[in-house]
Amino acid sequence: MQFPLFIARRYFQLNAKNNLTHRIGFVAFISIAVSTMALLLVLSVFNGLEGLISSLFRSFDPDLKITLKRGKAFTLDANLRHRIKAVAGVSKVVDILEDNALLRYQEQQAVVRLKGVSEEFLYQSRLEPFIQQGRFKLKQGPECFAMLGSGVRYALSVPIHNQFRTLQVFYPSNSKNSTLLPQLLYRCKNISPGAVFAVEQQFDERYVIVPIDFAAELMGMENQSTALEIQVADGFSVDQVQKALKLFVPDYFQVLNSHEQQATLMQAIHIERLFVFVTFSLILFVASLNIFFILSMLVLDKRHDIAVLYTLGATPRDIRRIFIIEGLLIALSGVAVGMVAAWGLSWLQQKFGLVSLGTQTSLVEAYPIKRKVSDFVYTVTSVVLITLAAAYRPAHLAAKTKVHVHL
C-alpha cells in the first residue's frame, strides 16, 4: 500500500504544472471544498433551527407526558399515582384536564384550547419567563385566574387589569336529554384574566390555562384527567425516566417525551433535512465528475509512466490503487478545506450573527447554528463513496495499459 500511496502523492501536485490536467484538478478541489462547506453550513442551520424549536416547545410541553392511547379522560387510581411519583428522577407530576371550549369577552369570542392544570404546574416554572403581562398565578383565595396566550388576548381584546369584566367560558353539556332550551345545551363559568404569555404562535393563538378544578366543574369531569405532565429532576436522563415509567404503566397509556409530543413537526424537519442532504450530495456528485475527468486525462498523460511501473514489478492492482488514491487525495483535501471553512463561518455566525433573519418579529436576530460531529462524518463518508465510484473506471483503464505500446 505504501508504493501506490507514494506514486499517488507524486501525482498530487495541483499547482506543479501549468497544464490542463492540473487546472481541472484544481477546479475539482475547489468545487468539492465549496460544496462541502455549503452542505455543512446548511445542515448546521437546520440543527440550530431544530434546537430553537425544541427549546420553545419545551417551555410549554413537559419533559414527559402520560396520555391515553384511545379515549379522552381517565381516572387515575391512587396506587398508580404513588408509583409514578416514586420513580427515580420524577420531580413533579401535574394533572391536566384539556379540551376545546368557547371563550367570550364582551362581544368578541373565539374557540380556544382550555387547559386545566393542578397547582404543581406553577412550581415547574417553565412558563413563568414567558409571561408578558400580569402575574404567574392561578388562584388567589377562592378566585380563579386564567393565563391567556398573547394571540387569544389580541383576538378578544382582553385587558388584564380590568376587575369589573370577566371572561365567559362555554363548554357543551353532557346531558343526553333532548331539550329546546339553549341554556341547557352548554355549561358556562366566569373567570378573571390574570396573565398573558407568549411562547410560540401555535400555543399563543390557542391556549388558555386555568385551574384544574375550574375546568373540571365546567366540563363535568370531576376527579378526571386527560394527561399527566411529568417534570424530570436535574441530573436524570429523560430517556431513562421514560423507560422506567413504561415498565409499569398500563398498556392503554403512552409515555411521550418532548419530541414525541410534537412528532409531526419533528418528522417534517427531519424529512426536510434529509432532502437537503440528498440535494447537496447530488451537487457533490456533480463536483466529483471533475475527478473522473482529471483521472481519465491523467491516465492518458501517464501511460508511459504506467508502462515503466509495470516493468519495475507493479501489478494491475497497484496501478488501480494509485489512481483511486489520487482521486481520494483530491476529494479529501477539498473536504478538509470545506470542513475548516464551514467550522469557521459557523463559529462566526454563532459569535457575531453575521446573517440575520431579516424580520423584526423573529424570536432570534440571526440564524441559529449548531454543529454536529455526525454531519461531518456523513459528509466525509458521502464524498469517499462518490469518489470511489468516480475513480473506478479511470483506475480500471489504467490497469489495462499495454506495456509494449507505451514504452
Which of residues 232, 258, 284 is at a domain's end?
A: 258
pLDDT reported for residue 224:
93
Distances (CA, A) of 102 to 114, 146, 156, 188: 9, 14, 12, 9
Average confidence (pLDDT) over 140-163? 90
Mean pLDDT of 97-104: 96
Residue 125 is predicted with a pLDDT of: 67
Instruction: Please check whether residues 308 and 228 belong to one and the same domain.
Output: no
Q: Are residues 233 and 190 in the same domain?
A: yes
One domain, residues 272 and 385: yes
Residues 222, 125, single domain; the answer is yes
Question: Where does the pLDDT of residue 291 fall: very low under 50, low under 70, confident under 90, or very high at 90 and above?
Answer: confident
What is the average pLDDT value for the chain, to the nearest integer?
87
pLDDT at 15: 46
- Among 136-145, 156-165, 253-262, 377-386, the range scoring the smallest mean pLDDT is 156-165
Q: Encode pLDDT of 123-137 as tens digits.
A: 876 788 899 999 999
Confidence of residue 165 (pLDDT cuts 50, 70, 90): confident
Question: Does the pLDDT value for residue 16 go beyond 60?
Answer: no
Task: Say yes or no: 254 and 285 in one domain.
Answer: no
Same domain, 163 and 247: yes
Q: Do 378 and 297 belong together in one domain?
A: yes
Across the range 363-370, mean pLDDT stands at 81
Q: Judge whether residue 98 has pLDDT over 50.
A: yes
pTM (two decimals): 0.78
Q: Greater confidence, 226 or 290?
A: 226
Asked which of 239, 258, 277 is the last residue of a domain, the reply is 258
Nearest to 101 by CA among 50, 171, 183: 171
- What are the tens digits of pLDDT across the range 326-356? 889 889 999 999 999 999 999 999 888 888 8
Looking at the structure of the chain, the number of domains it has is 2
Clarify whether residues 239 and 280 are in a common domain.
no
User: Where a domain ends, among 223, 258, 293?
Assistant: 258
Phi-psi region of 286 (alpha: psi -120 to 50; beta: other; left: phi over 0): alpha
Same domain, 35 and 80: no
Whether residue 210 is found in the same domain as residue 242 = yes
Residue 336 structural domain: 2-57+265-406
The residue ranking higher by pLDDT, 53 or 344, is 344
pLDDT at 212: 96
Query: How confident is the model at residue 299, as a pLDDT?
Result: 87
Residues 80 and 222 in one domain: yes
Residues 201 and 337 occupy one common structural domain: no
